[in-house]
Structure 1
Amino acid sequence: MDKKIKKIGVLTSGGDSPGMNAAIRAVVRTCAYHGLQCQGIYRGFQGLLEGDFIELGPRSVNNIINKGGTMLKSARCKEFMEKEGREKAYQHLKDANIDALVVIGGDGSFKGATTLHKETNIPIIAIPGTIDNDIFGTTHTLGYDTALNTVVEVIDKIRDTASSHNRLFLVEVMGRDCGHIALNAGIGAGAEEILIPEENLGVERLLESLRRSKESGKSSSIVVISEGGKIGKTVFELKEYVEENLSEYDVRVSVLGHMQRGGAPSCFDRVLASRFGVKAVESLMEGKSNFMVGLRNDQIELVPLEKAIKGSTKVDMELLRVSDIMST
């Protein structure tokens, strides 16, 4: 890269996740450490289209490392999907003398960033921020660890009620195409059964598992269901099916929803965000572009952005066996 980086823009895009603020903080302070300017871009690509920028310095990011969500806000932008929209966005970057971008988000954000890079050649480094942990090339995305802890804490509370009333609770967690949250939180919270998109366990297997639980003396049970499970029924339809076939169960549904995205990030996510932010800025300074920073073998590495987009993550199927053993 011939042009020396003097000013870096940072934005958050797509669904928010705990740790985004910590990553923004890391980007801003790494820029300051190296004598670079940093420009915050509000509302992701929508703000980029509108030139909604703000100058950020070390004191601008005081006291945000412990906060969930994103101080720069987030939005989805249909106009950015069109070439004319991206041209408009790039013009705002040039007008603001922004030499490079750090994009914090998930798969959709990465696709937009890659297209912008291809069309304009502006240097871009991406930071994976999504609670689903569904980005290829990193063992952990920002917010995943916090979401797991949130889900486990909530299920622990639900179990108190389930035990008090001898009830079966169907707990739906996020993870439309990926079962990381359901599988890991289910084991961590001691669920009797876990349903994930990667494995079609079927309703009959679920019924048989619940029958065995009842026969073994369990008076209450927890079933954790990823919202993208392949069981063929919504969680409410599944409730009705279980009640029709196992009348001895008093079934309740709890959909955890967006509470999984909120809350203060865990220490793990704060540290990971700080490491990601430093690596992103210093990679741009070294002339790197069109990469995602990822965590592999506890080391921060660069992954080609297109590889991160096209690759697919896999859950550890050994954990399903662990779950089966633990539910005995």
Structure 2
Amino acid sequence: MKKIAVFTSGGDSPGMNACIRAVVRTGIFRGLEVYGINRGYEGMIEGDIFLMNSHSVSNIVQRGGTMLKSARSSEFRTPEGRKTAYEQLSALGIEGLVAIGGDGTFTGAKIFFEEYGIPTIGCPGTIDNDIYGTDYTIGFDTAVNTALEAIDKIRDTAAAHDRIFFVEVMGRDAGFIAVESGIGGGAEFVMVPETQTDLNMVVNTLKSHREFRSSSIIVVAEGDDLGNADHIMAIVKEKIQDPTREFKVTTLGHIQRGGSPTARDRVLGSRCGMGAVDGLIAGKTNCMSGLMNNELVYTPFADCIGKHKPLHPDHLALMEILNI
């Protein structure tokens, strides 16, 4: 193998640039030519591909987002789109790919390999931390700390006005951000898609807290089984029926995706990027480079896509214990 390319796809996450940097410099260190593909699969189809050198990735490790941009490509989902992408790569002699992203990215890479045989190794780039085969995903730690900083600030104003705040964090299908930011931020309740929310228990606990706790923070993952934070707040307010208590909602939204990555995400991205290049050189394909128990591991795309990554049981226990 002499030529490889790297791209980012799907939702951006802090630490992707550290991963790109590691891919480029590891590839050059190992004697490869490394190309960058702008805008993921869309850029692959359009031929937006350029040769990178060590200087190409200077001064990016501290930046959020992705220097290679990201896009979702409906055209790549078609056989015609994938054929065009293959022709663009073949014209440059590119023999292997590093795909930084999540489920959708890996699904596309798996199908692409099955049709055209270009080996691909993925790196887990998503703030949701919901990819099987790695303890943490690139961007998760930064997103949690961003949410935690916001929760700390919201608690100040909640206490000043004796308010109950519902803080909505990202997590359409997984509650990892909600759980870690909720535990770290001292939230009274954390609501996540993985568990069924007992709203009567929440209401009764908030009523009992009235005697000794004037304000409360409730962290809600956007994909909770009862709905989003606005919907849940309206139900709780109706059930409590206390005109002296104020209820507020704060939706953190896309601020969780941005910002300078933490040291943990920079190191994770760098290790996964190096592992991806070394995996390609070793002949691996259709798998993801991740870390489990602080060791580099390769997990087949079929497992990354098909297997559910559960919340840690200790975290679930803490959620119940700490809200008393």
TM-score range, shorter chain: over 0.9
The answer to whether the 8 A contact 1:9-1:40 is kept is yes
Aligned counterpart, 2:120: 124
**What's the counterpart of residue 7 of structure 1?**
3
1:316 to partner: Cα distance = 1.6
Structure 1 residue 240, shift from structure 2 partner: 2.0
Which residue, 313, 319, 323 being the options, matches 1:317?
313
Specify the code of the residue in structure 1 equivalent to 2:185.
A
Q: TM-score, normalised by structure 1?
A: 0.96
Tell whether 2:272 aligns with 1:272: no
Residues 1:135 and 2:98 aligned together: no
Residues 279-294 of structure 1 mapped to structure 2, 5 A cutoff: 279-294=275-290
Structure 1 equivalent of residue 230 of structure 2: 236
Q: What amino acid is the match of 1:86?
A: R
Q: How does 1:162-177 map to 2 (within 5 A)?
A: 162-177=158-173
Superposition map of 1:209-224 within 5 A? 209-215=205-211, 217-224=212-219
Q: Alignment partner of 2:210: what SS?
A: helix
> Gapped runs of 5+ residues in structure 1?
none
CA distance in 1, matches of 2:245, 2:236: 8
AA matched with 1:100: G
Cα displacement (A) at 1:211: 1.5
Correspondence for 1:200 = 196
Q: Quote the Cα distance in structure 2 between the aligned partners of 1:19 and 1:116.
A: 25
Over 3 Å off, 4+ runs: none
Preserved contact between residue 229 and residue 249 of structure 2 (Cα < 8 Å) = yes
User: TM-score by structure 2 length?
Assistant: 0.97
Q: Give the corresponding residue for 1:225.
A: 220
SS at match of 1:293: strand
2:153 pairs, out of 157, 160, 178, with 157
Matched to 1:203, the amino acid is: L
User: Does the alignment pair 1:36 with 2:46?
Assistant: no
The answer to whether the Cα contact below 8 Å between 2:168 and 2:228 also exists between their aligned partners in 1 is no
Aligned to 1:74: 70
| SS of residue paired to 1:208 | helix
Question: C-alpha displacement at 1:130, in angstroms?
Answer: 0.3
Question: Quick one: distance in 2 between partners of 1:265 and 1:70?
Answer: 11
- Aligned equivalent of 1:62: 58
Mapped to 2, the partners of 1:325 and 1:315 lie a distance apart of 16
User: What is residue 89 of structure 1 aligned with on the other side?
Assistant: 85
Aligned length: 322
Give the Cα separation in 2 of the matches to 1:180 and 1:234: 16
SS at match of 1:133: coil
Shift of 1:19: 0.5
Q: Hey, what's the Cα distance between the residues in 1 that align with 2:294 and 2:209?
A: 39
Segment drifting more, 258-267 vs 234-243: 234-243
1:259 aligns with 2:255: yes
CA distance in structure 2 between the partners assigned to 1:209 and 1:58 by the alignment: 57
In 2, Cα distance between equivalents of 1:241 and 1:165: 21
- Separation of aligned partners in 2, 1:169 and 1:120: 52
Partners of 2:316 and 2:112 in 1: how far apart? 40
Please say if residues 127 and 294 of structure 1, whose CA atoms lie closer than 8 Å, have aligned partners that are also in contact: yes
Identity %: 48
1:241 Cα deviation from its structure 2 partner: 1.9
Cα RMSD for the two superposed structures: 1.0
- Contact in 2 for aligned 1:197/1:229 (Cα 8 Å): yes
Cα distance in 1 for residues equivalent to 2:119 and 2:316? 41
Distance 2:59 2:193 in 1: 38
Match 2:46 to one of 25, 50, 54: 50
Residue segments in structure 2 that go unaligned for 5+ positions in a row: none
2:94 alignment partner in structure 1 = 98
Counterpart of 1:40 in 2: which secondary structure? Answer: strand
- 1:17 is matched with 13
**Partners of 1:212 and 1:21 in 2: CA distance:** 48
